[in-house]
Amino acid sequence: MADHIKVRPATGTWVVRAAGAVIGESTNALELVEGDYPPVIYFPRTDLAMAFLEPTELRSQCPYKGEASYFTIEAKSGPIANAAWSYENPAEAVAAIKDHLAFYSEKVAVEQV
């Protein structure tokens, strides 16, 4: 497991934009690297406008991280379905991502500023 997934602080300031609006900015984001996949930035909930994120019924299972729950972003231009995910009770090896959300880069912009 230690070789498959690594979680570390993401350097700098990170922003997530949905439909042109900033819904989060953080200097406390985490970078998760899993195997050959591109790194994923996880934002602390405290740095997100959670009022614009609605939990959905969708769930998925990862053998390394646990069960993911999903969120729809309620944007001014309309909902962006299942654009973010979170591990409410992550596996011990990735416990740092608890209370963080990650976003699909094809649905929103996640950028280092």
> Do 25 and 41 meet the contact criterion of CB atoms below 8 Å apart?
no
Give pLDDT tens digits for 29-73: 999 999 899 999 999 999 999 999 999 999 999 999 999 999 999
pTM of the model: 0.95
Residues whose CB is less than 8 angstroms from the CB of residue 96 and which lie 6 or more positions away in sequence, other chains included: 7, 30
Nearest to 108 by CA among 87, 77, 85, 83: 83
Q: Which amino acid is at 27?
A: T
Tens-place pLDDT, residues 43-55 = 999 999 999 999 9
pLDDT digits (tens, 9 = 90+) for 3-36: 689 999 999 999 999 999 999 999 999 999 998 9
Largest pairwise CA distance in the chain = 41
